[in-house]
Structure 1
Amino acid sequence: MGKIERIEVSATDRERLETLVRGRNTPQKVVWRARIVLLAGEGLRATEVAARVGTSTLTVRRWRR
């Protein structure tokens, strides 16, 4: 498997994603996806992101792609 490049999250996108994560009416699957992108943007490895989000490493890798 090839190396997955680091995700760059702009300040505007980060703000939008954080709003989704905090939203009381945001569906849980959207919250998970937003958290995956935010944590990946911080440079965390897939295993670390999966542990923090509570999902599998495979799911994290899919969303990073």
Structure 2
Amino acid sequence: MTNLEVHKPFELDGDLAALRGDCARMAPHWAAPERVTPLPVSPSLIHGVRVPAASARLLDAMSDYGD
């Protein structure tokens, strides 16, 4: 059987109602994964965070982070 349902073309200028409708139509296509409970990590395995110098300079230059 041929699906003759006509869909309107994708529009960038839509409203919130159109976006919610699009999401509602797509929701059945995705299955939610089972809830995964993360296992605790031993503190001896945590050695800190290393940030590349370029990223540190970028964050330092942002007023929300450096002031």
**Under TM normalisation by the shorter chain, which class is it?**
under 0.3
Greater relative contact order, per chain length (Cα 8 Å cut-off, separation 6+): 1
| Structure 2 length-normalised TM | 0.25
Counting helix residues as a fraction of each chain, which structure ranks higher?
Answer: 1
TM-score normalised by L of structure 1: 0.26
- Max radius of gyration: which structure? 2
